[in-house]
């Protein structure tokens, strides 16, 4: 069994700490680790922007060697895999068999266990829901309770889906899959002139996948935005075994981030980058076809972009706001950005529909993502932002919000009180804890 102390760093570069890392390669070793009388926390690929898979007082249990494909049943449209299987490996396997996952998050190296623990969403959560809507069963390990086989109608199953590893270590899972419609996705890009027009166009969109992008670096004209509408190319094309498992994306730990002690982005270079992207999208990419696998990772295959933020990293929160409050909320945040010195890069929107009962976002609305360069002015900006989040009852995506605190969490996470009571009833000794769970007092 591989165990050592390492320095962990969140994907956005916001927090680093040294703690114990364990890499069991058989189930018996998981039992040995659990007998250490220390707190534990599962760890997948380590791509969370928040410190969800480590803490200085907890042992991180890597699922690296829990990477087997256990069962494939095309008639029942079910696949069973261990929790450490990487998303891109599962996608490649299903592609060769003529199937696909309806919900795919934005980075190909995320593990399946992490997808469940964070209840991630894909490109069209309004119609496809979140990842856990497609989970049929889970096998969970807890050192006190042993190995638990959970069906999707059980209380512990609901706590685990979007429970961020607090119920235990996911060993394996059965997932519902769908027959592949085509090899390709076709995308059309439309320009809008105001935030109101952008939201309105997004809400009315009937495409299979739709999202927006807005430039926030030009304070006078950042209301201009792009609407991306994508649909399957419904032609009877042969399903070929295109593979993307040669992807070598950056895993931004402490050692990679310290290679660039300064950021290549400033207000001028951000402005140029966004200007180029806007021109490129409307000039060369207004209408294009792309392989369905690659379409799921628009930034995943160019993740060195994140490295350019340097050692200090970036801040990219994501919030769920109701349809009714979306326009006023976005306008309020953009007004604060205009009046502050924060280095805002871009904003992205998509429609959302979550149905879980844990810590993940739930309900219908607009999912709003902001991207900022991490600077000394960011904390001052967040002091002004947090009362707005509470006022509009905006739910945070815990996977991405590395700045969330207890006050914001208990006032904005819809099921916070319900989850806290349930997790303490399930596990009164609270064996599984992360830096984030301690931070928001869970």
Q: What is the pLDDT of residues 214-250, one digit of tens each?
A: 999 876 655 579 999 999 987 655 544 445 554 544 4
C-beta of residue 435 within 8 angstroms of C-beta of residue 54: yes
Residue 223's pLDDT is 58
Residue 367's pLDDT is 97
Mean pLDDT computed over 345-372: 94
Residue 336 has pLDDT above 50, yes or no: yes
Among 66-70, 88-92, 252-256, top mean pLDDT goes to 66-70
Residue 283's pLDDT is 85
Mean pLDDT computed over 101-127: 93
Token pair listed for 416: 């916070």
- Spatial separation of the C-alpha atoms in residues 348 and 75, rounded to whole Å: 38
Asked whether residue 57 is domain-assigned, the answer is no
75-79, 119-123, 271-275, 297-301: which range is least confident on average?
A: 297-301
Percentage of the residues of the chain whose pLDDT score is greater than 70? 92
Asked whether residue 121 is domain-assigned, the answer is no
C-beta of residue 90 within 8 angstroms of C-beta of residue 117: no
Residue 155 has pLDDT above 80, yes or no: yes
* CATH assignment of the domain containing 224: 3.30.70.2520
The number of residues in the chain equals: 442
- pTM for this entry: 0.93
Residue 180 has pLDDT above 70, yes or no: yes
Asked whether residue 161 is domain-assigned, the answer is no
Asked whether residue 357 is domain-assigned, the answer is yes
Give 301-320 pLDDT, tens digit per residue.
456 677 788 888 899 999 99
Give 259-278 pLDDT, tens digit per residue.
888 888 888 898 888 888 88
Domain count, the chain: 1
Asked whether residue 14 is domain-assigned, the answer is no
Mean pLDDT computed over 132-152: 96
- The single-letter DSSP state of residue 437 is H
177 Ramachandran zone, left/alpha/beta (phi>0; psi -120 to 50) = beta
Token pair listed for 217: 């670096």
Residue 299's pLDDT is 62
Residue 396's pLDDT is 96
Asked whether residue 325 is domain-assigned, the answer is yes
Asked whether residue 122 is domain-assigned, the answer is no
20-34, 251-265, 304-318, 339-353: which range is least confident on average?
A: 251-265
DSSP secondary structure string for all residues of 330-378: HHHHHHHHHHS---EEEEEEEEEEE--SSSS--EEEEEEEEEEE--TTH
Residue 81's pLDDT is 98
Q: What confidence category does residue 251 fall into, taking pLDDT thresholds of 50, 70 and 90?
A: low
- The single-letter DSSP state of residue 59 is E
Residue 44's pLDDT is 95
- Spatial separation of the C-alpha atoms in residues 251 and 109, rounded to whole Å: 9
Percentage of the residues of the chain whose pLDDT score is greater than 90? 66
DSSP secondary structure string for all residues of 121-168: B-S-HHHH-BGGGGEEEEEEEETTTEEEEEETTSHHHHHHTTSTTSS-
Asked whether residue 92 is domain-assigned, the answer is no
Instruction: Quote the domain boundaries for residue 385.
Output: 184-406
């Amino acid at each position: 069994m591989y165990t050592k102390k390492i320095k962990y760093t969140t994907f956005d570069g916001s927090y680093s700490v040294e703690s114990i890392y364990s890499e069991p390669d058989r189930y018996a070793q998981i039992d040995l680790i659990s007998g250490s009388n220390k707190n534990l926390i599962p760890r997948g690929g380590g791509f969370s922007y928040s410190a969800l898979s480590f803490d200085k007082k907890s042992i991180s249990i890597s699922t690296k060697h829990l990477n087997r494909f256990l069962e494939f049943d095309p008639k029942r449209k079910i696949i069973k895999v261990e929790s450490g299987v990487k998303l891109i490996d599962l996608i490649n396997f299903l592609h060769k068999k003529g199937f696909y996952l309806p919900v795919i998050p934005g980075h190909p190296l995320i593990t399946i266990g992490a997808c469940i623990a964070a209840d991630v969403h894909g490109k069209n959560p309004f119609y496809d829901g979140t990842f856990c809507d497609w989970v049929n069963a889970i096998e969970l390990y807890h050192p006190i309770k042993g190995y638990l086989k959970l069906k999707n109608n059980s209380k512990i199953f609901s706590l685990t889906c979007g429970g961020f590893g607090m119920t235990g270590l996911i060993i394996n899972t059965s997932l519902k899959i769908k027959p592949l419609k085509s090899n390709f996705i076709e995308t059309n890009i439309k320009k809008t002139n105001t935030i109101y027009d952008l939201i309105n166009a997004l809400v009315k969109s009937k495409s299979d996948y739709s999202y927006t992008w807005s430039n926030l670096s030009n304070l006078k004209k950042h209301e201009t935005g792009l609407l991306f509408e994508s649909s399957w190319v419904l032609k009877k094309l042969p399903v070929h075994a295109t593979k993307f498992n040669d992807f070598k994306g950056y895993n931004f730990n402490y050692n990679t981030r310290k290679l660039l002690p300064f950021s290549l982005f400033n207000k001028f270079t951000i402005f140029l980058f966004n200007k180029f992207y806007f021109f490129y999208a409307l000039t060369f990419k207004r209408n294009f076809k792309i392989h369905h696998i690659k379409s799921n990772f628009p930034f995943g295959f160019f993740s060195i972009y994140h490295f350019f933020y340097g050692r200090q990293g970036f801040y990219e929160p994501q919030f769920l706001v109701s349809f009714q409050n979306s326009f006023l909320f976005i306008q309020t945040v953009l007004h604060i950005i205009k009046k502050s010195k924060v280095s805002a890069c871009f904003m992205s929107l998509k429609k959302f529909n979550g149905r879980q009962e844990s810590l993940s976002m739930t309900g219908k609305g607009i999912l709003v993502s902001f991207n900022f360069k991490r600077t000394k002015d960011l904390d001052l900006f967040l002091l002004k932002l947090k009362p707005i989040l509470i006022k509009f009852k905006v739910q945070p995506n815990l996977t991405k919000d590395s700045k969330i605190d207890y006050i914001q969490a208990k006032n904005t996470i819809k099921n916070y009180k319900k989850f806290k009571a349930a997790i303490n009833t399930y596990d009164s000794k609270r064996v599984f804890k992360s830096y984030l769970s301690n931070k928001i007092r869970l």
